[in-house]
Amino acid sequence: MEIKAIRGFNDILPDEIGKWQFVEKTAREVFEGFGFTEIRIPILERTELFSRGIGEATDIVEKEMYTFADRSGNSLTLRPEATASMARAYLEHQLYNYDSMAKLYCMGPMFRYERPQKGRYRQFYQIDSEVFGVENPMVDAELIIMLIHFLKTVGLDKLELQVNTLGDRTCRPKYREGLKKYLEGKAFQLCEDCKRRIETNPLRVLDCKVETCKQAIADAPKVTDFICSECQKHFDSVKEYLGAAGLSYIINPRMVRGLDYYTRTAFEVVSYQLGSQNAVAGGGRYDNLFQEIGGKEIPGIGFAIGMERLISLLPEGKEFSKYPDLFVAALGEAPFKEASRIVNQLHLEGVRAELDYEGKSLKSQMRRADKLKARYTLILGEEELKRGKAVVRNMGTKSQEEIPIGNLLDIVKQKIL
Ligand code: AMP
């Protein structure tokens, strides 16, 4: 029986890879321009890191983690997100000794046992960016500005930025209580998951996609009704900085984000071109995460961009293509030898050159050059070779000219590179 990939795990094929590389390269350029440095963290961590860091009552920890015992009986988990691992690495290597703040980014696959559908997979890629060590709301705004700038740079502009505040250790418990009381009165309308969430994670009910739950929360208290003056001040500053940077946004008091560790600023970027899984990126401040995993009080804020969703929004473009620059079609033994010498030389110059290795007819070599979407073809025949010449054909305009083989490199540099 043919072996197939696991459900929810995708191959990214050569056809699509240009877009992925373009997005990754742009992320590196933009983030590094904002002073961020890449960090690479393991895919596997101790389960505890996520159960403590993300929170026991979150959907991720309750039912979405790929957790298993290794051969020594340690409970390990494939990372469902990157923030907790980045925070762990920051603590473990005492990066706070290097500077009072750290601006880090990473990219790679995450794993969640969710029901696969369009825009939602079990292995998916994220680009994550985090700032550790600063509580100032200016940093919240800077990070959001960088995110929007990155999304614009890759070519996305029909996006909506939503912001909210989730309160802190002082006011969030009061909101939780207020919301809990409200939800208890609506329990009969809630789905089974949300009935349970009244006790374990009432804020999460606001995120539920079930229609009866959405109706039940229509008049639920808002976090802004409970917010303490410090959190209000922080939120006002973030909004002021975003406004000063000319960013438009909407305030979405129902946006709570799935994870437990968020405090104060929360934000999401959504696209109405995406259907039900419409969040391209999301993030927020998490001033308690470090406490949970390492007992240190270090503030942090970050975001994660879903790469599959972002890539599905990119326009089709030639710049993503991986087509050969030059296809060398050779007819006969001596021309083939010359062709292989030329192709080797071109590869060293960084030209994407292809060759037919099977001794096919000129017609079939030209058909292959067409199929591969080569920009130019170099035709080498016995006759031409004897005269030290070859024919270059522009596959787009179909125009061709005879050139001296000795000048090929210069011509290629002029026309192609
Ligand atoms: P989160 O870590 O849940 O805040 O998600 C951040 C971003 O990652 C979301 O806005 C999505 O774009 C993307 N994302 C989250 N879960 C998935 C998934 N299962 N499949 C594909 N993309 C996802």
Per-residue pLDDT tens over the stretch 63-111: 999 999 999 999 999 999 999 999 999 999 999 999 999 999 999 999 9
Q: Is the CB of 108 under 6 A from ligand 1?
A: no
pLDDT tens profile 172-202: 889 989 999 999 999 999 999 899 889 888 8
Beta strands in 79-165 (DSSP E): 102-111, 123-132, 160-165
Q: Is the CB of 8 under 6 A from ligand 1?
A: no
Is the Cβ–Cβ distance between 379 and 361 less than 8 Å?
no
Other beta carbons within 10 angstroms of residue 212's beta carbon come to: 13
**Is pLDDT of 258 > 70?**
no
Burial letters for 224-259: b for 16+ Cβ neighbours within 10 Å, e otherwise? eebbbeebeebbebbbebbeeeebebeebbebbbbb
Residue 405: per-residue pLDDT: 92
Task: Supply the mean pLDDT for the chain.
Answer: 93
* Closest residue by CA, ligand 1 atom 17: 120
pLDDT tier, 262 (very low <50, low <70, confident <90, very high otherwise): confident
DSSP 316: P
Q: Is the CB of 385 under 6 A from ligand 1?
A: no
Q: Is the CB of 84 under 6 A from ligand 1?
A: no
pLDDT tens profile 319-328: 787 889 999 9
